[in-house]
Amino acid sequence: MKFGKFELPVGERVLVMGIVNVTPDSFSDAGKFASTEKAVEHALRMAEDGADIIDVGGESTRPGSEPVSVDQEISRVVPVIREISRKAGVPISIDSCKPEVVEKALQAGASMINDVNGLRGEGMAELAARYDVPVCIMHMQGTPKEMQKNPSYDDVVKDVKSFLKKQADYAVKKGVSRNKIIVDPGIGFGKTTEHNIELIRKIREFKKLGYPVLIGPSRKAFIGNILNAPVGERLAGTIAASVVCAVNGADVIRVHDVKEVVQALRLAETIIR
């Protein structure tokens, strides 16, 4: 799959996407990388540690979070993306559901769209088609502010799969190339612990849609609930979840702890092969 000037072997091995939150209120590293300098330094370290893609976001999507303005989000992510694209030899993804932010990010050097709103925003699919970049379509029930209040499904796997198929079909109708679409069941976005476990168990169901699958289990609440561990003590759980996701068919794993997860995945892949 081509990401601007980069080409990644999607499907040949599990790719790792490193998370850079340029926000003061993200659920796991609030404010730690809020400055451009610290965010860029963090991104470069992730690239050295084996990240295949760097995912930059300027708006927290933790449960209960409030949205930020377009201008504020642009001011957070664009300087970071511009610097990373100059210094790192890996593609950059923009984690945003606002077309205005995404376009500025793509102009600054990003070459992938990671949309937690699943291309439901007006103009987002057309934007992905116009720039001809990979786009990750994620499922989220509700909005970050209220998504965890009472998530419910008739059948979580069928319901999420149906949404992803519908949005992928919509993207294609809007001109997005089929070979530029990635789908994400949205672990932790409007799901209970049981829902998340079921989605991870059934990753191969989403593979049947014909697109690569991205999974983001990193430091999520379901790990804390199972292990009775606060956010800062979920590394072991993240590694375990990431390996299980890979074994179950995930193509891209989105994580905070790149070095440790890359090592775990490479070992697991070597043993399995």
Residue with tokens 């990401």: 3
Tokens describing residue 112: 């992938």
Name the packing angle between helices 193-201 and 235-247 (round to 10°): 40
Q: Which residues contact 26 (CB under 8 A, 6 or more apart)?
A: 57, 60, 62
Q: Where do the DSSP E strands lie in the chain?
A: 2-3, 6-7, 15-21, 53-57, 92-95, 112-115, 135-138, 181-184, 214-215, 252-255
CA distances in angstroms from 265 to 182, 238, 239, 268, listed in the order given: 20, 12, 8, 5
Among residues 178, 254, 266, 273, which one is catalytic? 254
- Do residues 94 and 122 lie in contact, with contact meaning Cβ atoms separated by under 8 Å? no
| Residue closest to 17 by CA, chosen among 82, 96, 112, 106 | 112
Catalytic residue, from 180, 220, 259, 273: name it. Answer: 220
CA–CA dist 109, 147 (Å, integer) = 31
Tell me, yes or no, if 220 is annotated catalytic. Answer: yes
86: left (phi over 0), alpha (psi -120 to 50) or beta: alpha
- Is 158 a known active-site residue? no
The phi and psi torsions of 97 (rounded to 5 degrees) equal: -110, 10
In the three-class reduction of DSSP (H, G, I as helix; E, B as strand; rest coil), residue 169 is classed as: helix
Cα torsion through 72, 119, 261, 55, rounded to 10: -30
Q: Where in the sequence numbering do the catalytic residues fall?
A: 220, 254
